[in-house]
Structure 1
Amino acid sequence: MNRIFASGGPLALSLLRLMSGLLLLQHGTQKMLGFPAAYPRPIEFGSLTWFSGVIELVCGILIAAGLFTRPAAFLASGFTAVAYFMAHAPRGFYPILNGGELAALYSFVFLYLSLVGGGPISLDAKLRNK
């Protein structure tokens, strides 16, 4: 039984990368493209929200595709950590109470991906095998 679970690790890594990238991407598409729902307020070009939307959009695409996974995930990890400390930590110490558990989890998942890469089912792996 342990062999079955151990052999699924590389596939699970690729799935974690894909889903984490897609979940980050939806924040970027909401801010930058108004999809799936428009951001609650207009975003001014060059604002902090605009830059966060660009990072979410670009890193979300790269991480989901598994292309330049390590640097994109490293940037996303730092970005989500900053988002946690700027937007959530001032509301209180505990992430469950300040609404920051998702940002904190994103930060650690992306830090993990920046260390281990995109997994066997990624564009990085495909380019490495050429």
Structure 2
Amino acid sequence: MSNPADRDRLIVPQLQPVYAGGYETVETVLRVLAGVLLVTHGYGKIINPFGAVGMVESLGFYPGIFWSPLLSATEFFGGILVAIGLFTRPASFAAMIVLLVTVYFHGIVKAEGLGGAEKSILWAAIFLFFSFRGGNRHSVDARLGKVF
């Protein structure tokens, strides 16, 4: 809200400086939190990267011996990349794909419907956002001066 006319549209115009100064910080917090939580979720998988072979094959991803470690690496290392803001767009895109598969898994395969898939839908949307937005100035991408 850098435009003075935007201030006049706010119900509480005195909050304009908070909104103007806080959006990038809040965006950074969301990116870091999403990345750290993805790392936490992927930690068990990276410890046993072949542990999900049966699950990925039940979804039609053959050979599971290839897809299970890829899933593990995407969640664990992709989460680290998103959290620090390095290769933010491709790492977020990969995470989004993984989460869309979990939407299918919970919503269709396990027949849990929206109730079972809603968290995955929300997570996929968050990573979709960062797939397009990338890291902001509080990212390794920005420090490198590159946009990936």
Question: Same fold, TM exceeding 0.5?
Answer: yes
Q: TM-score range by the shorter chain?
A: 0.7 to 0.9
User: 2:46 is matched with which residue: 26, 32, 50?
Assistant: 32
> Where do 5+ consecutive residues of structure 1 fail to align?
none
1:104 equivalent to 2:121? Answer yes
1:54 equivalent to 2:86? Answer no
Map 1:36-115 → 2, pairs under 5 A:
42-43=51-52, 46=65, 48-85=67-104, 87-90=105-108, 91-92=110-111, 94-96=113-115, 99-115=116-132
CA contact (8 A) 2:90 2:131 kept: yes
Give the structure with higher Rg (CA). 2
The residue identity in structure 2 corresponding to 1:55 is T
For 1:110 and 1:32, how far apart are their aligned partners in 2? 20
Pairwise CA RMSD: 2.3
User: 1:5 is matched with which residue: 13, 19, 30?
Assistant: 19
CA contact (8 A) 2:106 2:113 kept: no
Deviations 1:17-58 (A, max 9, x none): 100001111121111126xxxx9x945582543321111012
The residue identity in structure 2 corresponding to 1:56 is E
TM-score, normalization by structure 1 = 0.80
CA contact (8 A) 1:27 1:53 kept: no
Compute the displacement of 1:94 (Å). Answer: 3.7
1:119 equivalent to 2:136? Answer yes
Compute the displacement of 1:6 (Å). Answer: 2.4
Residue 65 of structure 2 aligns to a residue in which SS? coil
> Where do 5+ consecutive residues of structure 2 fail to align?
1-14, 54-63
Of all paired residues, the percent bearing the same amino acid is 31
Give aligned pairs, total: 121
Q: Looking at both structures, which has the greater relative contact order when contacts are Cα pairs under 8 Å and sequence separation is at least 6? A: 1
For 1:88 and 1:47, how far apart are their aligned partners in 2? 22
